[in-house]
Amino acid sequence: MAEIKAVGVIGAGQMGSGIAHVFAMAGYDVVLTDVKAEALQKAVELIGKNIDRQVAKGRTTEAEKAEALSRIKTTTSLADLGQCDLVIEAATEKEAVKVAIFNDLLPHLKPETILTTNTSSISITRLASGTDRPEKFMGLHFMNPVPVMQLVELIRGIATDDDTYQTLVAVVARLGKTSATAEDFPAFIVNRVLIPMINEAVYVLFEGVGTVESIDASMKLGANHPMGPLELADFIGLDTCLAIMNVLHEGLADTKYRPCPLLTKYVEAGWLGRKTKRGFYDYRGEKPVPTR
C-alpha cells in the first residue's frame, strides 16, 4: 500500500475544515487550500475552537491541540498541494466546479498521489475519467460534522485499483473512524436513503399533511431520530439537499426522486438553512422559529 504522510484538502468550508481537523489530530501533515484567504483563516479558528471542545471533554490535551494545529498549513494556491500523498477535494457539490479544480490541480501532482473527492452524490467513475489517474481516484465521503461522525463512505470508480482502495481503508482506520464501502451509484448509501426521506418530509409539508413542528416532532419522538428531517435539512443546507435529489432524479430516471417544488422554492429564495439564517426555520432570533 502507498504510504500517506502529507494530505491536501481543497475547500475550507464546513466539510474541508472538519477533514483537515481529523487528519491533523491523527498525525498527518495537512495543506488546506481555498480560493479565499478569509475562509482559510476562519477554518483554522474553527478547528481550534472544535479541538477546545475535545480538550474540555478530556478527549485530547492542550499539547496535542498545539501539535495538531502546527501540522496544518494554509494556501490559496493549488500548486502547493503538489507534494501531497493524498488529496481530498471538498469543494461545493457542483460537478463543473470539481472538474475545473481537478484540471487546475493535476499538472502539479506527483504520479503516485491518490486523488479523492468528498462528493456526496456525483459519479466517481465520471469524475475519475477526466483525470490522468482514474486507477488512483476514489470517493472519500465524510459525514457532517466530520470530527463527530464515525462513518466514512469509500466509493470505488470502475477503474480504481485495489492498492488505492486498501490504502484508504487503512487511512480511515488511522483516523479512528469506520469505513463503509459503497458501489458507485447516485448518492451512494447514506444519501440514497437519507435525502429522499428529507424530500418526502418536504412533500408532507408542501401538501399540508403536517407543519414544520409536527413533522419534526413526529420523527424525533415517533422514530427516535435525534433531529427532525426539516431541522436536519437546514443543518445540511437546502441547496445541498436539492443538488443530491437532482443527481438521484437524473441519474436513476425514477419519478420517486423528483425534488419537491417547495424545496426548490426555498433554494430559489436563498433560504438555505442555518448557513443563511433562514430555511424551514428562522434562526435570526434567540431560538429557531418555523417559517411555515
Give the residue numbers annotated as catalytic, written as ranges. Answer: 120, 141, 153, 191
H helical segments located in 119-223: 124-129, 162-174, 190-206, 212-222
Helices and strands, number each (H, E), in the chain: 11, 10
Instruction: Give 3-state DSSP helix, strand, coil % of the chain, rounded to 5.
Output: 50, 15, 35
Beta-carbon neighbour count of residue 256 at 10 Å?
A: 10
Q: Is the dihedral of CA 90, 96, 122, 85 positive or negative?
A: negative
Bridge partners of 137, per DSSP, are 115
DSSP 222-267: HS--SS-HHHHHHHH-HHHHHHHHHHHHHHH--GGGPPPHHHHHHH
Residue 19: strand, helix, or coil: helix
d(CA 239, CA 234): 9
Q: Phi and psi for 15 in degrees, rounded to 5?
A: -75, -45
Binding residues for NAD(+): 11-16, 34, 93, 98, 120, 144, 275
Binding residues: 11-16, 34, 93, 98, 120, 144, 275
d(CA 250, CA 200): 17
Alpha carbon separation from 47 to 61, 206, 218 (Å, rounded): 14, 38, 34
Count of residues making up the chain:
292
